[in-house]
Amino acid sequence: MPYPRVAVTGLGAITAQGPTAADLWDGAQRGRVAIRPVEQLPMDGYRTKLAGEVQHQPKPASDARYPAGWRDRALDFLLVAAEEADAAAPAVRRTVPPERLGVVVGTCNAGLISGENWYRARMEGEHADPRLVIFVPPQALAEAVAGAFNARGPVLSIDTACAAGANAIGSAADLIRQGLADAVFAGGTDALSDVLIAGFNSLESLSPEPAAPYSKDRLGLSLGEGSGMMLLVRADLAEELDLHVLAEVAGYGLSADGYHATAPHPEGKGAARAIQAALRSAGVTGADVGYVNSHGTGTAKNDPAETKATKLGLGDAVKDTLVSSTKSMIGHLLGAAGAVEGIVTVKALEEQVAPPTANFTEADPECDLDYVPNVPRPVDMRVAISNNFAFGGANATIVLTRGRTEPPPAPDLDDVVVTGLSALTPAGSDLDGLWDAYATGRDCTAEENGARLARADLDVGAFLPPKVRRRMDRLGMFAVIATRLALEDAGLEVTEDNRERIGVIFGTGVGPMESMEKFSRPLFTEGPRAANPAVFPNTVYNAAGGQVAMQLGAVGPASTVTTGHAASTGALVYARDLLAAGHADAMVAVGADTLTDTVAEAYRGLGVLDPATGFALAEAGVAVVLERRGRAAERGARAYGQIRGYGIASDGRGAGRWDPEGRGVERALRMALERAALDPGDIATIWSSAAGLRAADEAEARAIARVFGPGTRTLSPKRLLGEPMGAGGALNAVLAALGISRGHSAGPAVVMSSSLGGTHFAVIITATEL
């Protein structure tokens, strides 16, 4: 059966070049530099006064249900870009049912501006509208887009920092190929902020002049802002609707460097693996690639490393390949970079023109490819790639094609089994202790300042020496320790021979709030000179996942999923899909979130920490090792169970809102059953996501009743262990797998997980033998 093709049918962008995708392409192909003096932020105390600032005020049609008088620039950029992509192919939404329409958003800083406004007001003793925190996490941006376009299919967010936009496009294409959606809005967004500028300034990365990638006299990078969105559609549907197809997303590749928190591997090995994986998934070779839209930041270390990576990735054909950097004209848009540069790559394919690298002067001997200096060049091509490489060593490459009729190669499918588990929770750090706490009904929560909280009393010194943990925050420690314990439980050793075939997908709901506060608070009170370069790398959501790769050596496919309270479940199913398709032999899905006083205060402000509700906020680090059945059997592994199927659905009501009738939950359940080829009566146990939030709990209960009727065993472990935010879904999966393997479940189990903005997952785990 041919693998479904994925068409690009609409583009939308707002950048320093102007408010539309046409403006972006016009500026890029002309080599017009839009890096100018910043007007909307004070720039005193920085190495530069310049950035690729958006000059046009974004005015989306959707109000996103903001608090009165407030707008978040990153979200407004995203909505404007999505509206333009939608308008380019209006037949899509007229034809595709809302339940088959998805959203995938990549970002680095998400709603940082909303969070800063809330935090500064609290610092200064002023009233801070508690609803501002709703718009801080990446998932809120995706759910706001879903609300604006009534998208009720999969709604996901990816935060692999500067690789997030490309990762989002690849993930969206996967959703279509796997039959989870017929059309998906995919892209990224980020906005300039004083926190962001101060961070890069502290690393001494900023250029006082517009960035000059690959030039011998380059001085660093230029930051930028904006958004890019594509409307992806199943190719046969695009043909049926007679849509203008701009290009196709033929494949993508992910990898980890496992080298350094901010610097790339000097030989470009990790980035090269992403390029090679992308080419394999698309069924093309380096000789087929006519153009590379490069990461091209303009820093001393990145440009030579990427040059080496491009050579390794494309092979001998690289000498005939044109390469250029869009960042030389609009700056580095961080989480939006891959999306915006993907749009430029689509237009390059459509018009058969390689845009230039602007500001190019004298060639650097270490950067010796054809960078299309300063002047565009016509090129006859059918295949182009776009590269994005990030902090934490996360790499993503997408392959775009035009005029090719061959579908991507069908994947070498295999079942996916669970072979290792770990859980660092308020019940302790071992699986027996976790099961005992749950089975005996031990309440692991405690009252603190009028709220129920559940903290994990973890002795990190027993797992990590001081030298290793010196520059890690608790989120990173939880992720590394949980992953190590799960690999040990699986009996899977990471070696030089297998490390490239073992990947890590990290899931987090609230992200690195400890490090973000540690970095930002001095900055707000003392100015840019207080910015700490040792802390700044930990402020990105994927930093913990990067630490896992660095400390444990797993450098296969890597990503960070940020679907709110369902983040670790999103990581679990993403890891499952990458494995099933043969992109790795083993994957670790690890979820973690940690409690800080500020995190608790944010939840308290939203009115959810009233002890009378029974809701308790918790922290945890949870990991699940997944393997392809064939490889697990080959090495004699033990299997806790098999991931038999899953479903994803959204309520499509916007950030912080869900359907009280639970219709999205119901669709996720029915999809999971269908994909697992099971009937409701086959299910023995449901592990509920109910945690004490009445509206959400009742919606889930209604859905379960409609699907299963009375009598199905439903368990609610979060009532005892607390709600560990983004780690909660993986915690339920660990308990379900333990229950099956220890004989406490008479048959298949369903693991439920939902974000607080109406994105729902249902995962079915069954007993299996190897």
Q: What is the pLDDT of residues 547-594, one digit of tens each?
A: 999 999 999 999 999 999 999 999 999 999 999 999 999 999 999 999
DSSP 8-state symbol, 769: -
CA distances from 215 to 35, 212, 263, 283, 313 (A): 17, 6, 19, 33, 22
- The string of DSSP codes covering 210-226 is S--TTBTT---B-BB-E
Buried b (16+ CB within 10 A) or exposed e, 709-738: eeebebbbbbbbbbbbbbbbbbbbbbbbbb
Q: What is residue 105's predicted lDDT score, i.e. its pLDDT?
A: 99
Cβ atoms within 10 Å, residue 236: 12
739-754 pLDDT per residue, tens? 999 999 889 999 999 9
**Residue at token pair 């035009």:** 402
> What percent of the chain has pLDDT above 70?
100
Q: Do residues 187 and 228 touch, judged by C-beta distance below 8 A?
A: yes
Rounded distance between C-alpha atoms, residue 11 and residue 283, angstroms: 25
Domains annotated for the chain, with CATH where assigned, are: 6-401 (3.40.47.10), 416-766 (3.40.47.10)
Residue 242's region, left for phi above 0, alpha for psi from -120 to 50, else beta, is left
**Whose CA is closest to 672, among 646, 654, 696, 692?**
646
Is 1 a residue whose pLDDT tops 70?
Answer: no
Which residues does 406 contact at the CB level (< 8 Å), separation at least 6? 283
**Whose CA is closest to 732, among 547, 612, 568?**
568
| pLDDT bracket for residue 2 (50, 70, 90) | low
* Average pLDDT of the residues in 466-483: 96
- Apex CA 510: angle with CA 175 and CA 606, to 5°? 110
- Apex CA 327: angle with CA 323 and CA 331, to 5°? 175
Is 84 a residue whose pLDDT tops 60?
Answer: yes
Which one-letter amino acid corresponds to residue 712?
T
Rounded distance between C-alpha atoms, residue 676 and residue 678, angstroms: 5
CA distances from 439 to 252, 690, 721 (A): 43, 17, 11
Instruction: Please tell me whether residue 244 adopts helix, strand or coil conformation.
Output: coil
392-443 pLDDT per residue, tens? 999 999 999 998 777 888 888 999 999 999 999 999 999 999 999 999 999 9
- Apex CA 147: angle with CA 141 and CA 152, to 5°? 105
Is 618 a residue whose pLDDT tops 60?
Answer: yes
Catalytic residues: 162, 295, 332
Rounded distance between C-alpha atoms, residue 252 and residue 73, angstroms: 29
Report the chain's C-alpha Rg in angstroms.
24
* Average pLDDT of the residues in 147-168: 98
Predicted structure pTM score: 0.98
128: phi then psi, degrees, rounded to nearest 5? -115, 120
**Residue at token pair 């609300």:** 147
- The string of DSSP codes covering 246-267 is -EEEEEEEEEE--S-SSSPPTT
Alpha helices in 125-187 (DSSP H): 138-149, 164-177
* Average pLDDT of the residues in 466-488: 96
Helix, strand, coil: what percent of the chain each, to 5? 40, 20, 35
Token pair listed for 511: 């992200």
211-254 pLDDT per residue, tens? 999 999 999 999 999 999 999 999 999 999 999 999 999 999 99
Q: What is residue 267's predicted lDDT score, i.e. its pLDDT?
A: 95
* Average pLDDT of the residues in 17-33: 99
304-352 pLDDT per residue, tens? 999 999 999 999 999 999 999 999 999 999 999 999 999 999 999 999 9
Alpha helices in 491-566 (DSSP H): 513-526, 543-552
Rounded distance between C-alpha atoms, residue 710 and residue 204, angstroms: 62
Q: What is residue 610's predicted lDDT score, i.e. its pLDDT?
A: 82
Rounded distance between C-alpha atoms, residue 361 and residue 265, angstroms: 26
Rounded distance between C-alpha atoms, residue 95 and residue 367, angstroms: 48
